[in-house]
Structure formats: C-alpha cells, structure tokens
Amino acid sequence: MSSRLRPGPLLAGVAALLLALLGSVLLGAADLGWTRVLGEIWAQLTGGHSPLSEREAAILWRLRVPRAVLGALVGAALGVSGAAFQGVFRNPLADPYLLGAAGGAGLGVTLVITMLPQAGSAPGAAQAAAFAGALGGVALTWLLGRSAGNDAATLVLAGVAVGAFLAAGQTFLQQLRLESLQQVYLWILGRLSTAGWSDVLLVLPLLLVSGAVLCACGRLLDLLGTGDEEAASLGVHPGRARAVVLVAASLATAAAVSVAGLIGFVGLVVPHLVRLAFGGTYRIIVPLSLLFGGAFLVLADVLARTALAPAELPLGVITAFTGAPFFAVLLQRSRRA
Amino acid sequence: MAANSGAFARGVAASHRTRRAHVAHRPDHEDVMLGFRRIPALLLAVLALLFAGTSCATRTPSPAPEAPVEDPAAAFPAQITIEGQEPVTLPQQPKSIVSLSPTATESLYAIGAGEQVKATDQFSDFPQHAPRTDLNGLTSDAAAVAGHDPDLVIAPEGAGKLVEGLHELEIPVLVTPSAASLDEAYAQIETLGQATGHSRQAHDVTRRMRDDIAKIVADTPKPPEPLSYFHEVSPDFYTTTSHSFIGGVYRLFGLTNIADEAGGAGNDFPQLAQERIVQADPDLIFLADAKCCGATPQSAATRPGWDTLTAVRENRVIALDDDIAGRWGPRVVDLVRSVSDTVARTQRP
C-alpha cells in the first residue's frame, strides 16, 4: 500500500470524471442525437457550422452542460468532505452531514420559506438560507462540542444532538405553515433539475477553495490518524489541524447543499470505494474522493434523467438506490475482514 | 350513480312535502312572485314577512329546524355511496359538519349547506367566511375532530388513520377521493348534496357548471392547429398528464399535453426533465405554482433556455390560481374560463 498519490489512480479519477461528464452531455431527456452534440462541440471549437438549432443549442449549453458541471462540483464537494470527515473522526461511518449541516440547512430553508414567503421566493434566497443554515448548524455543534471537551467523539455526539434539535425545529415550522410543505420538501429531496450557470457560478469559488484546502490536508489527516500525541510529536497541532479540515469540509458541504439540497450517500460511499480500490492513506483518499465523487454524482444524474425519460427521478433517490446496497456489501466485507 | 339518482328523487319528493309545511309561517319565493301582480297582495306578503319575523322573535324556542333545511328530514336515513369507498349511513340530516377537504368545503357552501358546516380544515380558504380551524385532514387525530362534535365528517382520501379513529367513535365519515374527471367531480358534489339534505341545490349547481362549461367551450374560437401546453405544478417541473382531472379540462379545448409521454403506468403526475420542456416548445404554459412557490410569467422567462420558447416569446405563460387549479369543486368553471381566455388570445393577431 503506497502512501503517496501515484499518477495511475489520479489519471483513473480524472478519466472517470471526464467520461461521466461526456456521457452526461451526450445523454438526456431531450433527444439531440449524440453525433449532433459532438458536431456542435466540434463546431464551437473550430468555429464551424453547428448542426443544432438555436433551441437545441440552448438545451445543450444552458441546461445540460451546466447541470453536468454542477453535478460534478456537488459530487466532488460531498466526496471530498466525506473523506475528510471520516479522517478527522477516524470513523468510516462519518459523512458530510455529520455535524449538523443537514439539519441546519433544512431549518434555514424552512425558516425562509415559511416565515418570509415574499423574500423566500426571490432567486437565490433558499440557497443563501441553506448555506447559512448549514454553517450555523456546524458552528452550533462546534460550540456544544467545545464546551464538553472537543475531542472527536464528543463532536459527533454534539452533532447528533444539534442535528436532531434543528430537524425538530424544521418540523415545528412546517406544522405551523403546512401550506409550505411542498416547497420545503422539493428543496430537501435533492435535485439538479433546475440547475443553470448561475448555480455553478454561485458555488464554484467556494468549492475550489475548500476542495484545494482539503486535498492539501491529506497528510495532516494521515498524521491525525496515528493519534493526537503522535501527531503532536511530529509537529502538528491536532486541535488546529482538525479545525482547519472541519471548516473547509463544512464549507464544501454547505456550498453543495445550498444548490442541490440534501443528497445522501455520496459522501459516505465514495471514500469507501476509493479506499478499497486504491489504498488506505488520506493523501490518496481525499483527492480521489473529490474526483470519483464528482463522477459518481454525474452518472447518478444521468440515470435520474434517462431511466424514465422524459420524466425525471429525484437524484437523492438514485444515490440512495445505488449507495445503500453498496454500503450493505461494504459492511459485510468489513465484518468478515 | 343509481343510488344517487334514487336518493335525488326521494329528496325532491320530500322537498315538496316540507314546502307545504313551511308556507304557513314562511313566505317563499313563489308567494312573493305572485304578490308582484297586485299591490295589495304584495303588502300582504310584506305583512306576512313581518309577522313571520316577529312571531319567530317572540316565540319560545321550539323544535323547529334551526338551520335552513331545503330537503326534509324525510330523505333520511340515507345511505351515501361514493365509488370505491365504504357506504355511509346517515340516520338524519347532519347539522354539524366538519369538512377536512377544501374542495368539499367549497362545494358545501355552493349547494347551500354552509350553515351546517361547523368547522373546516386549515386549507379551506374558500369561501372566506368558512369556519377555518387548525385541523388537517392528513395529520389531525380523531379526538381533535371529535372535539367539534360533528354528526358528519367529510375527509379527503388519504386520511386513513383519522377515518379509523372516527369509526371507533361512531362518527359518520364521508371520504371524498380526488376526482379524475369532470363527471366524477359532478357526482361528488351531488353526493354531498344528498348527504347534507341539499340534493336539489346540488343538482342545480352541477347543471349550472355543465351548462357554463359547455357554453365557454362552445364560444372559444377553435385554433386552426391543435395547441400544446405544459401545466406546471411545482418549480422543479412536476406536472400533470392529460389523464388527470385538470388534463380533462384542457382536453375540452383539444389541447395536447407535452407530458403525456412521461406519464403512463398510472403516473398522472410525473416530473418532467427541463430540457424536455424546452425541446417540446409548448404553445401555452400554465403555472399552477404561483401561490405555493412564487412562480410568475416573469420568473419563468428568466429560467435557462426558456427565452427560446414560443409561449414565453408570445406572452402565453399564464399564472393560474393554485387553489382553483388543484380542486375539483364548483370553481372549476373559473379554471375553464382562464384556459378559454388563453386559447382565445392565441387566435387574435
């Protein structure tokens, strides 16, 4: 088992992501014909004549491509933050929503939709509320955990408590304003169906920064994995290292949630898959989880769009459908090992 | 249906009997109309009215009916049947109804049973003076409903637990499923008429609905080529096929639904891929998510790729009233009118 990221796995990750993106651009509910799509791409590159009509070009460049890109970004964010959370907590069951991000985002969105229906329907309002809520949830967990010691186990327990509390708050608000149920659920289920370039531009900077920070933190996570004292003896401040990773991972999670809702299983399953295939050190797992997370979500979205085309399946359903059985298999294997 | 019309006939016969009984102290329309022929008779009628009013005011409470009863108690006991639901037996005319379905609430008021309605669910926002409570047909428990002391509860389909609870408490419950067609909607209104002792008025209401809708459809200019439409239920493109109730309304005008391919297999409410909507380029777009989710023709126009759509370019994106578009009550005529207006607009230069 190597401890450094070799070119082979890295290339595999990049290739998986590019192939997924290509498939996503070629396939969709609108039947554009993959040769014509390739012709259009070629025409854009060479300045030649496009085989697509104006409307078909709009479907390709303003609906399908941004959706694929957003899927890649969200999947990458969930994959990389899932790996980071698993590293920090030394717990293979950790996922990006562990520290109250899901509950916070849900409460934020519900608050805006139920209490400020006018502002809530403004473009970007629900996204902003989800983002703020997710960060708020993590901050609350952090504060609660800190008052009780701030070690990894305490943080997880604090996250469970905060998550349950925020979810209860959300349910309470929904009961007050039942007419908003539909809108809240639409958001929570997780979707890329309304994705456009504006969503991509909204989250791209956040995901670039947090993704880069997390990829750079692989070695820190490996050191933390050897134990706090060991890490300290090697010149790492465990508390500070944990804080950096958690802030970056929470930021990535919050950004993903804000544009795509709560999409489960990506952050849990993808790091496991990577660990199984390529080895056990976080220097490898973290960047590869970013690449394969992106590829996984893009492929899941292709399925969501094409399985029942021209109808859609909710994306969260696809990731759970493919993720949950996979997770069961993983559990079996880890028990036998 | 047979049970319905039988009860209807019973109701009409009985209504004649009561009318005779009521004439003694309550002049009704026919008497007043006759009075217009001669002034003295009119004066007499007015006097009779005054007398009736004062005599009622001074009389000690008597077992006379409190709510305005159109059909008589003689139509009861009645057995009420809605297809696919357990028949409900009502020993006498209900005087204290709890309606947990906004559609049923609208219908009850339209057929003159409003005064019998003692409480409605929180979504029953029409008519405005309906006695709204925080009850909810899908989440409230039987005790909360029983607290309003109903002698008839009208529940929406899907209120399974609540219905069980009310059965335990021996409170009659009429479950009203979502109508799948205009005919089912009419049948449901007439069933409500039978259940509340307003068969005749319910029949009048549905006849008027049929006539109004037929006239609106007949008066709508027929487009030279069939128009296609997209009916948006939610901003992430849940929609309805033409096999749904609302699809039936659009079918009246010969419109074709761009989501029909996506439905099928009993799914009348599919989620459509956005690129599919743009590719299909519907002639008309109806937004039934204006109230719930703030969709407007303006916001629809800013969605990616939507500026290429004919409906957007030609200003044929129409915001419907979510409630009217989501219910199968008497206001469906308003919905038919909106669709007619839109279809007519496409015919003008």
* Any B CB within 8 A of A66 CB: yes
Q: B131-140, B237-246, B252-261, B294-303 — which is least confidently predicted?
A: B131-140
Count the Cβ atoms, other than its own, within 10 Å of residue B168. 10
Residues in contact with A196: Cβ distance below 8 Å, sequence separation at least 6, in sequence order: A62, A63, A66, B303, B304
Is residue B7 predicted with pLDDT exceeding 70? no
Beta-bridge partner residues of B89:
B79
Of the candidate CATH numbers 3.40.50.12590, 3.40.50.300, 3.40.50.1980, 3.40.1380.20, the domain formed by B223-347 belongs to 3.40.50.1980
Which of B236, B261, B275 is the closest to A28 by Cβ?
B275
Is residue B58 predicted with pLDDT exceeding 60? no
- For residue B263, the chain A residues in CB contact (below 8 A) are 311
What's the start-to-end Cα distance of chain A, in Å?
Answer: 17
Q: What is the pLDDT of residues A127-186, one digit of tens each?
A: 889 999 999 999 999 899 888 776 778 888 999 999 999 999 998 998 887 777 777 887
The reply to whether omega before A117 is within 30° of 0 (cis) is no
Q: What is the pLDDT of residues B176-202, one digit of tens each?
A: 999 999 999 999 999 999 999 999 999
Rounded to whole angstroms, the Cα distance separating A263 from A192 reads 10
* Any A CB within 8 A of B230 CB: no
* Any A CB within 8 A of B127 CB: no
Q: DSSP string covering A206-263, please?
A: HHHHHHHHHHHTHHHHHHHHT-HHHHHHTT--HHHHHHHHHHHHHHHHHHHHHHH---
Is residue B49 predicted with pLDDT exceeding 80? no
- For residue B278, the chain A residues in CB contact (below 8 A) are 30, 55, 58-59, 63
Residue of B nearest to A177 (CA): B122
- For residue A56, the chain B residues in CB contact (below 8 A) are 279
Which of B271, B272, B273 is the closest to A28 by Cβ?
B273
Q: What is the pTM of this model?
A: 0.80
Task: Please report the ipTM that was assigned to this predicted complex.
Answer: 0.83
The ranges of chain A with pLDDT < 70 are 1-3, 120-121, 150, 330, 334-337
pLDDT of residue A189: 75
Residues in contact with B150: Cβ distance below 8 Å, sequence separation at least 6, in sequence order: B94, B96, B97, B98, B118, B119, B171
Instruction: Return mean pLDDT, chain B.
Output: 80
pLDDT of residue B266: 67
Is residue B8 predicted with pLDDT exceeding 80? no
Which of B262, B293, B308 is the closest to A54 by Cβ?
B308
pLDDT of residue A336: 66
Residue A62 is classified by DSSP as I
Rounded to whole angstroms, the Cα distance separating A73 from A56 reads 24
* ∠ Cα B124 B126 B131 (to 5°): 60
pLDDT of residue B17: 32
Is residue B67 predicted with pLDDT exceeding 90? no
Rounded to whole angstroms, the Cα distance separating B326 from B322 reads 6
Rounded to whole angstroms, the Cα distance separating A255 from A231 reads 30
The CATH architecture one would assign to domain B74-211 is: 3-Layer(aba) Sandwich (3.40)
Residue of A nearest to B261 (CA): A310
- For residue B302, the chain A residues in CB contact (below 8 A) are 123
* Any B CB within 8 A of A181 CB: no
Structural domains of chain A ordered from first start? 7-336 (1.10.3470.10)
pLDDT classification of B4: cutoffs 50, 70, 90: very low
Q: What ranges do the domains of chain B cover?
A: 74-211, 223-347
- For residue A62, the chain B residues in CB contact (below 8 A) are 304-305
Going B316 to B322 to B326 to B329, the CA torsion angle's sign is negative
